[in-house]
Amino acid sequence: MVKIHDISIRDKLVLMLVFTSVLVLIVFLMVFIFTDVESYKQRKANSLVGLAHVIGTNSISTIQFQDNDAATQILSELQNVAPEIVHAAIMDRTGKLFALYSKPGADGLTIPDGLKVNKYLFTDKELYVSQQIFDNNVIVGTVFLESDLSELRDIIRTKYELAVPLFFVAIIFSFIVALVVQRYISNRLLALVATMKEVSNTGHYKESIADNGKDEISMLSNVFEDLMKQIMENQRRKDEFIGIASHELKTPLTSIKGYVELLESIEDKQPNKQFARKALENINKLEKLIQDLLDVSKIQSGQLELNLQEFSIRNFLDDTISGFQMISKTHLIERQDQFNGEIIVADRQRIEQVLTNLLSNAIKYSPGEEKVIVHSSTNGAELVIKVTDFGIGIPQEEQANIFERFYRTRDTSIHISGFGLGLYIAKDIISRHNGKIWVESQEKGSAFYFSLPLMIRQAAPDV
């Protein structure tokens, strides 16, 4: 079942406007029908009261002379004058029935208990009128009239028959108006939401929100834009600090590494030699981290340059995989090639950095496994390289985020070391080569792909 808070702002505005219009229309129609019915009832009551007064005036002499036939004749004229009259009766001063008229087919006369003299009374189907007859300010009798209200029922039915189609036409019209009116509000909000999503997905905080209004939506847009400017400034300062710190750390670390390498080469005794080797391994890790931080700083400042050159894919894979296999003691790197001496134009060192990072991650995140597969093939004018492991996999909901800076999956960030920079750098390097990088992962194992444009050699023209 769809919940109201799950509906988009556009649909909420449309529903709100349509609901308000329908509610107002219902109230208007009910008031219109009610006032029209009440007006008819008042006119009908006044008409019958006047008719009863005329009958009473014409019946004075018949009552005085006890001429029942003449009184009955007067009442019978109602069949032509007021055919809606069901019963008409004249009572003498003692309340005894003096003359009676009944419409053909009508039931017997029944005078309601609540009917008072010189008053009228409405029931569901009838209108009753009572009017006293005066002669020189002396009461000589009373006239009672009972009228059928079928005309009123017809009026009400006609009103509802008119109101129902009018109601549906009004709903359609209000829906159209709501669709047009809501755009002024929803389009601005949706534009703000779209910008927020774009910033969240890409991290490009330079996105501008154009809203020149002075209402709350404009205030929200301005606050969000100010917030993005603050984030950009904070990022600039952070990147500047990372760049300076990384650069300043690189020089002393190089000296430390040199001394430790020298110490490890001249030391023969154990466990001193083992200590020196462990120190050197950690220095290499720290050196890799500093290099990643420098790369990130260059990416953020737009200073990451590429040294493009032609090279053979096969030679590149031979050198990179064989070099990495020498330092991998736990996994066998298996190759699967499907190409024939293709050439690419790229920065070989940077592409090697990407492939090395993917191999390192494949081994790191597949503990206890024995192999990693590197599959390379051509797809039209593209080279596609896939690195497959058989490890812990990446949850589907996190796959879109793993190429973000400093992002690490929740399940692995605790017990596997790393800073979440390698894939971010790899994505930027591949993007600068006009390529693509993506991941496919199930519950067990992951496959990382990257593609690069192939260099198409033109055939020599015939002489």
The rounded percent of the chain whose pLDDT value lies above 70 is: 89
Stretch(es) of the chain classified as CATH 3.30.565.10: 309-453
Give the residue with greater pLDDT, 146 vs 25. 146
Cβ burial, residue 38 (10 Å; 0-12/13-18/19+): exposed
For residue range 97-117, list pLDDT tens digits in order.
899 998 888 888 788 877 776
State the pLDDT at residue 460: 38
Other CB atoms within a 10 A radius of the CB of residue 133 amount to: 24
Q: Which fold has domain 4-155?
A: Beta-Lactamase (3.30.450)
Q: How far apart are the first and last CA of the chain?
A: 75
Please, which pLDDT band fits residue 292 given cuts at 50, 70 and 90? confident
Q: How big is the CA angle at 155 (ends 150 and 156), to the nearest 5 degrees?
A: 95
Distance separating alpha carbons of residues 208 and 26, to the nearest angstrom: 45
* Average pLDDT for 394-414: 77
**Is 17's pLDDT higher than 50?**
yes
The tokens for 242 are 């990372």
**Is 463's pLDDT higher than 60?**
no
State the pLDDT at residue 426: 92
State the pLDDT at residue 449: 94
State the pLDDT at residue 352: 92
* Average pLDDT for 118-147: 88
State the pLDDT at residue 5: 64
For residue range 41-100, list pLDDT tens digits in order.
899 999 999 999 999 899 888 888 888 889 889 888 888 888 889 999 998 888 898 999
Stretch(es) of the chain classified as CATH 3.30.450.20: 4-155
For residue range 418-455, list pLDDT tens digits in order.
677 889 889 999 999 999 999 998 778 899 999 999 87
The tokens for 332 are 């066998």
State the pLDDT at residue 6: 65
Distance separating alpha carbons of residues 88 and 78, to the nearest angstrom: 8
Using alpha carbons, select from 93, 95, 101, 45 the residue that is nearest to residue 71.
Answer: 101
State the pLDDT at residue 291: 79
**Is 288's pLDDT higher than 90?**
no
State the pLDDT at residue 213: 64
State the pLDDT at residue 30: 86
The rounded percent of the chain whose pLDDT value lies above 90 is: 20
Backbone angles phi, psi at 129, to 5 degrees: -130, 140
CATH architecture of 309-453: 2-Layer Sandwich (3.30)
Please, which pLDDT band fits residue 257 given cuts at 50, 70 and 90? confident
Q: What is the CATH number of domain 216-301?
A: 1.10.287.130
State the pLDDT at residue 223: 80
**Is 196's pLDDT higher than 90?**
no
State the pLDDT at residue 437: 94
State the pLDDT at residue 458: 40
State the pLDDT at residue 320: 92
Q: What is the mean pLDDT of the chain?
A: 82
**Is 373's pLDDT higher than 90?**
yes
* Average pLDDT for 213-241: 76
